[in-house]
Structure 1
Amino acid sequence: MSEGGGAVDDQQEPSTRDRILAAAAAILGEDGATARLSVRAVAARAGVSVGSLRHHFPTQQDLRDEVMRRVLDWMMPRSSIGDRSVPPRERLVQCLLDVLDLSGTGAQAREAMTTMTSTFITAEQTASVREAYLAAQRDGQRRTEGWLRALAEECEIPADDIPRRARFLGTVLDGLSLERAMPAVDSLTQVESEVLFAAADVALAPVDRDG
């Protein structure tokens, strides 16, 4: 209660940045991941000026990247990459499995791959399609680099080699995601585990300073 006896509203109004992101996310939710994020349309929906939107997000790609980051933050399980009670390779493999599991298995994986193909491969290659794909690609690279940075000291990973190692892990995940959509062998889970642990061993290998 306030001093005057009135109720105090503890809820704060969303920031301008959050309103812009919510508006952009709503447009993508209604019109698809590759929908064009028109500056005027997003600003109008958020109830802000075009100048204010440009202040927070100078380009449409900046806006799309941040929407993608927040959506995947919401979808992804909380990472345990910093839990040093678990061996580094096991922590990295679990993070990779969390990404892989977003596509599901069986029919769900096939549906996800069909959607990916129709959205980014067979669709007309417009600027919006390119922006949407690059946003997803950059977010995946950023997350994987973050995991490797968290393990860099423990595993003696050179900082300048982290982007290359992250791209390698991303390629492995792409291949396993595609395999999940195919008629799979009964032991697919075991195969995935073996591949991911092998990939983690490569990604976490220290530099051979004697070579």
Structure 2
Amino acid sequence: MNQTYPGEAVTVGSREKILRAAAEMIAEDVAATLSVRAVAARAGVSTGSLRFHFPNQRELQDAVLTRVYEHVFPDDPIRDQSLPARDRLVNCLRQVLAPAGVGAEARRAWGAAYEAFIAPDPTEEIRTAYLAYERAAAARVEYWLGVLADEGVLSDEHRPRQVRFLLTVLNGLSLERALPAGESILRTETETLYTAVDCVLGTRAT
């Protein structure tokens, strides 16, 4: 049975239209702001219909991120419930670090980042490019935390702060990969990742 919104028939398909439209906007521009008006216009529905399915922007964003990442990363470690939540989240964070490489490869990556975002004067174009990159990284971490929140593993209350904390840890670890190392990078990196994850989840090694 279809549910209705005052003044408009809301079909079962309208939710799917909204999610598809929002996903298309993200695909075209990862820094796109999923405003209610913009998404509703793209989906061809009223803002009332969108609010009916997604009472606030956060719920819409969470649903879109779930849709996007389930499609792009169908075997995402975060959904492997045969492992504890802390192990799954660490495995996901390792995915972010893997492309950075170690040693010479990491130094080249950081050199490129320096030339692109640090050395030049911070023009609006450079700022926009960096913020788009940062937002994409944050969206992925936010998706992982959202999955764990849906499982009841952690609270949604401090998620933006938790995302920023984990991204800061990842930035530091990727920089360490480019610096001379006196200890085993794998061991120290693993210890740091588990410490960060335990801080976010409120867990500890058993």
Instruction: Please indicate, yes or no, whether the TM-score normalized by the shorter chain is above 0.5.
Output: yes
Match among 132, 138, 141 for residue 138 of structure 2? 141
Identity of aligned residues (%): 42
Q: Which runs of 5+ in 1 are unaligned?
A: 1-16, 25-54, 57-69, 207-211
Q: 2:141 is matched by which residue type in structure 1?
A: T
Inter-partner Cα distance in structure 1 for 2:161 and 2:201? 12
1:191 counterpart residue number: 188
Inter-partner Cα distance in structure 2 for 1:110 and 1:202? 29
Q: 1:123 is matched by which residue type in structure 2?
A: P
1:150 counterpart residue number: 147
Inter-partner Cα distance in structure 2 for 1:77 and 1:128? 33
Q: Does 1:178 align with 2:175?
A: yes
How far off is 1:185 after superposition? Answer: 2.4
Q: 1:78 to 1:127 in 2, by over 3 A?
A: farther
Q: Which runs of 5+ in 2 are unaligned?
A: 1-23, 30-40, 43-67
Q: Does 1:124 align with 2:121?
A: yes
How far off is 1:128 after superposition? Answer: 1.3
Normalised by the length of structure 2, the TM-score is 0.62
Inter-partner Cα distance in structure 2 for 1:195 and 1:181? 16
How far off is 1:136 after superposition? Answer: 1.0
Per-residue displacement from partner, 1:9-57 (whole Å, max 9, x unpaired)? xxxxxxxx69x94xx9xxxxxxxxxxxxxxxxxxxxxxxxxxxxxx87x
Q: 1:203 is matched by which residue type in structure 2?
A: V
How far off is 1:104 after superposition? Answer: 0.6
Q: 1:80 is matched by which residue type in structure 2?
A: P
1:204 counterpart residue number: 201
DSSP 3-state at the match of 1:159 = coil
CA RMSD, aligned part only?
2.7
Inter-partner Cα distance in structure 1 for 2:192 and 2:159? 20
Contact 2:85 2:153 in 1 (8 A): no
- Structure 1 outlier segments of 4+, above 6 Å: none
Inter-partner Cα distance in structure 2 for 1:103 and 1:147? 20
| Corresponding residue pairs, total | 142
Q: 1:125 to 1:78 in 2, by over 3 A?
A: farther
76-85 vs 185-194, greater mean Cα deviation? 76-85
Contact 1:81 1:92 in 2 (8 A): yes
Inter-partner Cα distance in structure 1 for 2:152 and 2:187? 25
Contact 2:142 2:159 in 1 (8 A): yes
Normalised by the length of structure 1, the TM-score is 0.60
